[in-house]
Structure 1
Amino acid sequence: MDDDAIRRYLSDHRAAAMITLRPDGTPHAVRCGLGLVDGRIWSSGRPDRVRTAHLRRDPRATLFVFGAAPDDPFSYLTLETEVTILDGPDAPELNRQLFTAMQAHMDPPAGTLFWEGAPHDEADFLRIMAEERRLIYEFRVTRSYGMV
Protein backbone atom coordinates (compact mmCIF):
# COMPACT_ATOMS: atom_id res chain seq x y z
CA MET A 1 0.00 0.00 0.00
CA ASP A 2 1.46 3.38 -0.92
CA ASP A 3 1.92 6.36 1.39
CA ASP A 4 -0.93 8.30 -0.24
CA ALA A 5 -3.43 5.48 0.41
CA ILE A 6 -2.28 5.32 4.04
CA ARG A 7 -2.65 9.10 4.47
CA ARG A 8 -6.11 9.09 2.85
CA TYR A 9 -7.32 6.36 5.19
CA LEU A 10 -5.82 8.00 8.27
CA SER A 11 -7.40 11.35 7.41
CA ASP A 12 -10.81 9.83 8.23
CA HIS A 13 -9.85 7.03 10.64
CA ARG A 14 -8.15 8.03 13.89
CA ALA A 15 -9.03 5.17 16.26
CA ALA A 16 -6.42 2.45 16.53
CA ALA A 17 -4.92 -0.25 18.68
CA MET A 18 -1.19 0.03 19.30
CA ILE A 19 0.50 -3.32 19.83
CA THR A 20 3.95 -3.30 21.43
CA LEU A 21 6.10 -6.20 22.61
CA ARG A 22 6.69 -7.23 26.20
CA PRO A 23 10.22 -8.38 27.14
CA ASP A 24 9.12 -12.02 26.66
CA GLY A 25 7.89 -11.21 23.13
CA THR A 26 4.16 -11.41 23.86
CA PRO A 27 1.97 -8.60 22.54
CA HIS A 28 0.57 -5.76 24.63
CA ALA A 29 -2.36 -3.89 23.04
CA VAL A 30 -3.90 -0.54 23.97
CA ARG A 31 -6.34 1.76 22.25
CA CYS A 32 -4.96 5.05 20.97
CA GLY A 33 -5.79 7.98 18.75
CA LEU A 34 -3.71 8.85 15.69
CA GLY A 35 -3.15 12.04 13.80
CA LEU A 36 -1.27 13.17 10.73
CA VAL A 37 1.08 16.12 11.23
CA ASP A 38 2.95 17.23 8.11
CA GLY A 39 2.46 13.74 6.67
CA ARG A 40 3.86 12.01 9.76
CA ILE A 41 1.80 9.58 11.85
CA TRP A 42 1.75 10.61 15.50
CA SER A 43 0.10 9.61 18.74
CA SER A 44 0.42 11.09 22.22
CA GLY A 45 1.54 9.33 25.37
CA ARG A 46 3.33 9.68 28.67
CA PRO A 47 6.66 8.41 29.98
CA ASP A 48 4.98 6.26 32.64
CA ARG A 49 2.88 4.23 30.19
CA VAL A 50 3.68 0.54 29.77
CA ARG A 51 3.84 0.96 25.99
CA THR A 52 6.48 3.69 26.39
CA ALA A 53 8.71 1.33 28.35
CA HIS A 54 8.20 -1.38 25.72
CA LEU A 55 9.09 1.03 22.91
CA ARG A 56 12.21 2.28 24.66
CA ARG A 57 13.39 -1.33 24.79
CA ASP A 58 12.12 -2.39 21.34
CA PRO A 59 10.86 0.34 18.96
CA ARG A 60 8.62 -1.96 16.92
CA ALA A 61 4.86 -1.48 17.10
CA THR A 62 1.88 -2.53 15.04
CA LEU A 63 -1.06 -0.18 14.58
CA PHE A 64 -4.47 -1.65 13.79
CA VAL A 65 -6.63 1.23 12.54
CA PHE A 66 -10.39 0.66 12.79
CA GLY A 67 -13.09 1.48 10.26
CA ALA A 68 -14.95 4.54 11.46
CA ALA A 69 -18.41 4.59 9.95
CA PRO A 70 -21.45 2.34 9.43
CA ASP A 71 -20.80 2.40 5.68
CA ASP A 72 -17.32 0.86 6.14
CA PRO A 73 -17.69 -1.49 9.14
CA PHE A 74 -15.20 -3.99 7.72
CA SER A 75 -12.44 -1.65 6.60
CA TYR A 76 -9.17 -1.65 8.48
CA LEU A 77 -5.54 -0.75 8.04
CA THR A 78 -2.61 -2.53 9.65
CA LEU A 79 0.69 -0.67 9.90
CA GLU A 80 3.86 -2.37 11.03
CA THR A 81 6.11 0.43 12.27
CA GLU A 82 9.25 1.54 13.99
CA VAL A 83 8.59 4.19 16.61
CA THR A 84 10.62 7.22 17.59
CA ILE A 85 9.71 8.80 20.92
CA LEU A 86 9.76 12.60 20.76
CA ASP A 87 10.11 13.77 24.35
CA GLY A 88 12.36 16.79 24.19
CA PRO A 89 11.59 20.30 25.41
CA ASP A 90 9.39 20.88 22.34
CA ALA A 91 7.05 17.97 23.23
CA PRO A 92 4.24 20.24 24.54
CA GLU A 93 4.26 22.14 21.24
CA LEU A 94 4.34 18.90 19.25
CA ASN A 95 1.28 17.75 21.22
CA ARG A 96 -0.42 21.05 20.40
CA GLN A 97 0.23 20.38 16.72
CA LEU A 98 -1.08 16.81 17.01
CA PHE A 99 -4.26 17.74 18.86
CA THR A 100 -4.89 20.63 16.48
CA ALA A 101 -4.78 18.16 13.60
CA MET A 102 -6.86 15.55 15.41
CA GLN A 103 -9.52 18.07 16.46
CA ALA A 104 -9.79 19.96 13.15
CA HIS A 105 -13.04 18.14 12.27
CA MET A 106 -14.49 19.12 15.67
CA ASP A 107 -14.33 22.85 14.88
CA PRO A 108 -13.20 23.95 18.37
CA PRO A 109 -13.57 27.61 19.32
CA ALA A 110 -10.75 29.71 17.85
CA GLY A 111 -7.52 29.47 19.84
CA THR A 112 -8.69 26.52 21.93
CA LEU A 113 -8.15 22.78 22.11
CA PHE A 114 -10.19 20.21 23.95
CA TRP A 115 -8.59 18.20 26.73
CA GLU A 116 -10.57 15.76 28.85
CA GLY A 117 -13.79 17.10 27.34
CA ALA A 118 -13.20 20.78 28.13
CA PRO A 119 -11.87 23.59 25.93
CA HIS A 120 -8.55 25.16 26.95
CA ASP A 121 -6.78 28.12 25.42
CA GLU A 122 -3.46 27.21 23.81
CA ALA A 123 -1.34 28.50 26.70
CA ASP A 124 -3.29 26.40 29.20
CA PHE A 125 -3.15 23.38 26.89
CA LEU A 126 0.65 23.71 26.60
CA ARG A 127 0.91 23.98 30.39
CA ILE A 128 -1.13 20.78 30.83
CA MET A 129 1.02 18.93 28.28
CA ALA A 130 4.19 20.02 30.11
CA GLU A 131 2.80 19.08 33.54
CA GLU A 132 1.80 15.63 32.29
CA ARG A 133 5.17 15.28 30.54
CA ARG A 134 3.29 14.17 27.42
CA LEU A 135 5.39 12.90 24.56
CA ILE A 136 4.82 11.98 20.95
CA TYR A 137 5.12 8.57 19.35
CA GLU A 138 6.18 9.01 15.72
CA PHE A 139 5.55 5.96 13.54
CA ARG A 140 7.63 5.05 10.48
CA VAL A 141 5.73 2.50 8.42
CA THR A 142 7.73 -0.56 7.39
CA ARG A 143 4.80 -2.63 6.05
CA SER A 144 1.11 -1.99 5.50
CA TYR A 145 -1.94 -4.02 4.55
CA GLY A 146 -5.68 -4.00 5.04
CA MET A 147 -9.06 -3.41 3.43
CA VAL A 148 -9.23 0.31 2.82
Structure 2
Amino acid sequence: MKPSQLPAAEREFLFHHHVAAMLTVGADGRPKAAKMEPAIVDDQLLSIGHRHKVRTRRLRRDPRTTLFYDAPGPTWLAVEATVEILDTSDTPRQIVEFMRVRQCRPRGPLAWHGDNHSEAELDETDFISAMIAEGCLLYHFSIDKIYGNLSDPIS
Protein backbone atom coordinates (compact mmCIF):
# COMPACT_ATOMS: atom_id res chain seq x y z
CA MET A 1 0.00 0.00 0.00
CA LYS A 2 1.21 3.50 -0.81
CA PRO A 3 1.11 6.40 1.66
CA SER A 4 -1.72 8.06 -0.31
CA GLN A 5 -3.88 5.00 0.45
CA LEU A 6 -3.52 5.40 4.22
CA PRO A 7 -6.06 7.08 6.48
CA ALA A 8 -5.37 10.82 6.76
CA ALA A 9 -4.07 10.73 10.37
CA GLU A 10 -1.49 8.02 9.62
CA ARG A 11 -0.38 9.69 6.39
CA GLU A 12 0.00 13.05 8.15
CA PHE A 13 2.03 11.43 10.95
CA LEU A 14 4.45 9.86 8.44
CA PHE A 15 4.88 13.21 6.65
CA HIS A 16 5.94 14.89 9.89
CA HIS A 17 8.03 12.15 11.55
CA HIS A 18 11.34 11.19 9.97
CA VAL A 19 12.95 8.96 12.58
CA ALA A 20 11.96 5.35 13.20
CA ALA A 21 13.37 2.11 14.50
CA MET A 22 13.50 -0.47 11.72
CA LEU A 23 13.08 -4.04 12.96
CA THR A 24 14.41 -6.89 10.84
CA VAL A 25 14.72 -10.59 11.62
CA GLY A 26 18.18 -11.88 12.49
CA ALA A 27 19.50 -15.31 11.51
CA ASP A 28 18.69 -16.45 15.05
CA GLY A 29 15.04 -15.40 14.61
CA ARG A 30 15.33 -12.46 17.00
CA PRO A 31 14.12 -8.99 16.05
CA LYS A 32 17.02 -6.60 15.39
CA ALA A 33 16.58 -2.82 15.58
CA ALA A 34 18.35 -0.01 13.73
CA LYS A 35 17.59 3.72 13.58
CA MET A 36 16.31 4.88 10.19
CA GLU A 37 15.29 8.25 8.76
CA PRO A 38 12.42 7.47 6.38
CA ALA A 39 10.45 10.02 4.38
CA ILE A 40 7.67 10.05 1.82
CA VAL A 41 8.83 11.03 -1.67
CA ASP A 42 6.49 10.85 -4.67
CA ASP A 43 4.01 8.70 -2.71
CA GLN A 44 6.72 6.21 -1.71
CA LEU A 45 8.00 5.56 1.82
CA LEU A 46 11.80 5.43 1.45
CA SER A 47 14.97 5.41 3.52
CA ILE A 48 18.69 5.26 2.74
CA GLY A 49 20.69 2.10 3.37
CA HIS A 50 24.10 0.69 2.47
CA ARG A 51 25.08 -2.46 0.59
CA HIS A 52 27.49 -3.59 3.33
CA LYS A 53 25.16 -3.15 6.33
CA VAL A 54 23.90 -6.19 8.20
CA ARG A 55 20.31 -4.92 7.95
CA THR A 56 20.58 -4.96 4.15
CA ARG A 57 21.73 -8.59 4.22
CA ARG A 58 18.81 -9.43 6.50
CA LEU A 59 16.36 -7.68 4.16
CA ARG A 60 17.76 -9.54 1.14
CA ARG A 61 17.08 -12.78 3.03
CA ASP A 62 13.67 -11.74 4.42
CA PRO A 63 12.19 -8.45 3.15
CA ARG A 64 9.64 -8.13 5.97
CA THR A 65 10.17 -5.30 8.43
CA THR A 66 8.41 -3.12 10.95
CA LEU A 67 9.10 0.58 11.31
CA PHE A 68 8.35 1.85 14.82
CA TYR A 69 7.81 5.60 15.21
CA ASP A 70 7.81 7.07 18.71
CA ALA A 71 6.49 10.50 19.65
CA PRO A 72 5.96 12.44 22.87
CA GLY A 73 3.32 11.14 25.26
CA PRO A 74 1.22 8.15 24.27
CA THR A 75 1.58 8.73 20.51
CA TRP A 76 3.27 6.02 18.41
CA LEU A 77 2.87 4.28 15.06
CA ALA A 78 3.99 0.93 13.68
CA VAL A 79 4.29 0.24 9.95
CA GLU A 80 4.57 -3.39 8.88
CA ALA A 81 6.09 -3.40 5.40
CA THR A 82 7.81 -5.41 2.72
CA VAL A 83 11.06 -3.85 1.54
CA GLU A 84 12.28 -3.62 -2.02
CA ILE A 85 15.96 -2.71 -2.21
CA LEU A 86 16.59 -0.12 -4.94
CA ASP A 87 20.19 -0.48 -6.08
CA THR A 88 20.60 0.51 -9.72
CA SER A 89 22.62 3.06 -11.66
CA ASP A 90 19.73 5.52 -11.11
CA THR A 91 19.69 5.07 -7.32
CA PRO A 92 22.18 7.90 -6.53
CA ARG A 93 19.90 10.35 -8.37
CA GLN A 94 16.89 8.96 -6.45
CA ILE A 95 18.82 9.45 -3.20
CA VAL A 96 19.37 13.11 -4.11
CA GLU A 97 15.59 13.52 -4.58
CA PHE A 98 14.97 11.73 -1.27
CA MET A 99 17.46 13.93 0.59
CA ARG A 100 16.06 17.14 -0.93
CA VAL A 101 12.64 16.21 0.50
CA ARG A 102 14.09 14.90 3.77
CA GLN A 103 16.16 18.07 4.32
CA CYS A 104 13.59 20.51 2.83
CA ARG A 105 16.25 21.75 0.38
CA PRO A 106 14.85 21.91 -3.15
CA ARG A 107 18.24 23.10 -4.46
CA GLY A 108 21.74 23.85 -3.29
CA PRO A 109 24.10 21.75 -1.18
CA LEU A 110 22.96 18.74 0.82
CA ALA A 111 24.08 17.73 4.29
CA TRP A 112 25.58 14.26 4.61
CA HIS A 113 26.80 12.37 7.65
CA GLY A 114 28.88 9.62 6.16
CA ASP A 115 29.50 6.06 7.22
CA ASN A 116 32.93 7.19 8.46
CA HIS A 117 31.21 9.61 10.92
CA SER A 118 32.10 12.63 8.80
CA GLU A 119 29.65 15.46 8.25
CA ALA A 120 29.69 17.77 5.27
CA GLU A 121 27.65 20.07 3.05
CA LEU A 122 28.08 18.72 -0.47
CA ASP A 123 27.06 20.05 -3.86
CA GLU A 124 25.00 17.62 -5.91
CA THR A 125 27.96 16.20 -7.87
CA ASP A 126 30.01 15.55 -4.73
CA PHE A 127 26.94 14.19 -2.96
CA ILE A 128 26.34 11.64 -5.73
CA SER A 129 30.04 10.68 -5.64
CA ALA A 130 29.77 10.13 -1.88
CA MET A 131 26.64 7.95 -2.34
CA ILE A 132 28.45 5.79 -4.89
CA ALA A 133 31.64 5.55 -2.80
CA GLU A 134 29.71 4.51 0.32
CA GLY A 135 27.55 1.94 -1.51
CA CYS A 136 24.29 3.71 -0.70
CA LEU A 137 20.96 2.34 -1.81
CA LEU A 138 17.31 2.97 -1.03
CA TYR A 139 14.84 0.88 0.91
CA HIS A 140 11.34 1.16 -0.56
CA PHE A 141 8.70 0.21 2.00
CA SER A 142 5.46 -1.25 0.64
CA ILE A 143 3.05 -0.86 3.56
CA ASP A 144 1.26 -4.07 4.54
CA LYS A 145 -0.33 -2.90 7.81
CA ILE A 146 -0.28 0.22 9.97
CA TYR A 147 -1.42 0.66 13.56
CA GLY A 148 -0.70 2.63 16.69
CA ASN A 149 -1.96 5.39 18.96
CA LEU A 150 -2.30 8.72 17.22
CA SER A 151 -3.90 10.75 19.97
CA ASP A 152 -2.14 13.81 18.48
CA PRO A 153 -0.86 12.91 14.96
CA ILE A 154 1.36 15.98 14.52
CA SER A 155 3.17 15.82 17.89
Does TM-score exceed 0.5, indicating one fold? Answer: yes
Q: Is the 8 A contact 2:77 2:148 kept in 1?
A: yes
Q: In structure 2, what is the equivalent of residue 74 of structure 1?
A: 74
Q: Percent identity?
A: 38
Alpha-carbon shift at residue 4 of structure 1 (Å): 3.6
For structure 2, the 5+ residue unaligned runs are 114-118, 151-155
2:118 corresponds to 1:114: no
Give me the CA root mean square deviation.
Answer: 1.7
Q: In structure 1, what is the equivalent of residue 96 of structure 2?
A: 96
TM-score (norm 1): 0.88
Equivalent residue letter for 1:119? E
2:125 corresponds to 1:128: no
Q: Runs of 4+ in structure 1 displaced over 3 angstroms?
A: none
Alpha-carbon shift at residue 109 of structure 1 (Å): 8.9
Q: Are the structure 2 counterparts of residues 112 and 17 from structure 1 closer, same or farther at C-alpha, using a change threshold of 3 Å?
A: same
Number of residue-to-residue matches in the alignment: 141
Q: How big is each residue's C-alpha offset from its partner over 1:102-139, in whole Å with a ceiling of 9 and x where there is no partner? A: 100xxx59411111242111111111111111000000
CA distance in 2, matches of 1:113, 1:103: 8
CA distance in 2, matches of 1:93, 1:122: 9
CA distance in 2, matches of 1:5, 1:57: 32
Equivalent residue letter for 2:84? T
Q: Is the 8 A contact 1:7 1:39 kept in 2?
A: no
2:47 corresponds to 1:43: yes
Q: Is the 8 A contact 2:82 2:144 kept in 1?
A: yes
* Secondary structure of 2:129 counterpart: helix
Q: Are the structure 2 counterparts of residues 109 and 119 from structure 1 closer, same or farther at C-alpha, using a change threshold of 3 Å?
A: farther
Q: Are the structure 2 counterparts of residues 75 and 30 from structure 1 closer, same or farther at C-alpha, using a change threshold of 3 Å?
A: same
* Secondary structure of 1:93 counterpart: helix
